[in-house]
Amino acid sequence: MDSPLLNSRQIEHNDAEECSDAKAEKHDKALAAVQRLLKVRGAHSYVVHTHHLSLFGDGRPFPLGKRQRYTPELVVHSDVGWVIATVAIGQRSGCYLVSISQGPNLETVPSAHPEMVANLVLTAQPAAQPGGTA
């Protein structure tokens, strides 16, 4: 049986695409709009920021390195911790990319409609999860 937990690193839309700081900030603002709408309606969520840091030691007191930042993701979860959906912003299109944990497809929503993302996520929220109550 497949676990209803969704590992955000397994989402197809976040296939290790590097993101500039300016673009990540823009994505953060778009995800914050969705997060506010979800919070008002009682849903729990948090934003995941992923950074990759490579250090190259060459004997200097301060190692050289390279920092990569990846597209932030909004993770929506139930009261008991089950991940319901993961939302990110498309690198090229700028659309919301919504992955519902029990859904077969990645849904795209125009960037001008964060309320559509909130509705999509909330309608996908199961009435009851194992270990929880209806």
Do residues 122 and 43 touch, judged by C-beta distance below 8 A? yes
Sign of the Cα pseudo-torsion (15, 21, 27, 33, in order): positive
The residue among 55, 56, 46, 49 whose CA lies nearest residue 21 is 49
Q: How confident is the model at residue 59 (pLDDT cuts 50, 70, 90)?
A: confident
How confident is the prediction for the chain on average, in pLDDT?
Answer: 80
Q: What is the pLDDT of residue 17?
A: 63
Ranges of H-type helices in 41-102: none
CA atoms within 13 A of residue 77's CA, in its CB half-sphere:
17
Question: Does residue 32 register a pLDDT over 70?
Answer: yes
Q: Which residues of 57-77 are buried (b: 16+ CB within 10 A; e: fewer)?
A: eeeeeeeeeeeebbbbbbbbb
Q: Domain segments of the chain: what residues?
A: 8-124
**In terms of pTM, does the model score above 0.75?**
no
Q: What is the pLDDT of residue 5?
A: 35
Of 74 and 7, the one with more pLDDT: 74
The residue among 83, 119, 78 whose CA lies nearest residue 100 is 83
Alpha-carbon distance 95 to 79, whole Å?
28
- 75-131: per-residue pLDDT in tens? 999 888 899 999 999 988 899 999 999 888 899 999 999 999 999 999 987 643 444
Residue position matching structure tokens 């290790």: 16
Question: Does residue 72 register a pLDDT over 50?
Answer: yes
Phi, psi of 90 (to 5 degrees): -65, 135
Show the tokens assigned to 42: 């009682």
Q: How confident is the model at residue 13 (pLDDT cuts 50, 70, 90)?
A: very low
Q: What is the pLDDT of residue 91?
A: 87
Q: What is the pLDDT of residue 126?
A: 65
The residue among 55, 59, 68 whose CA lies nearest residue 17 is 68
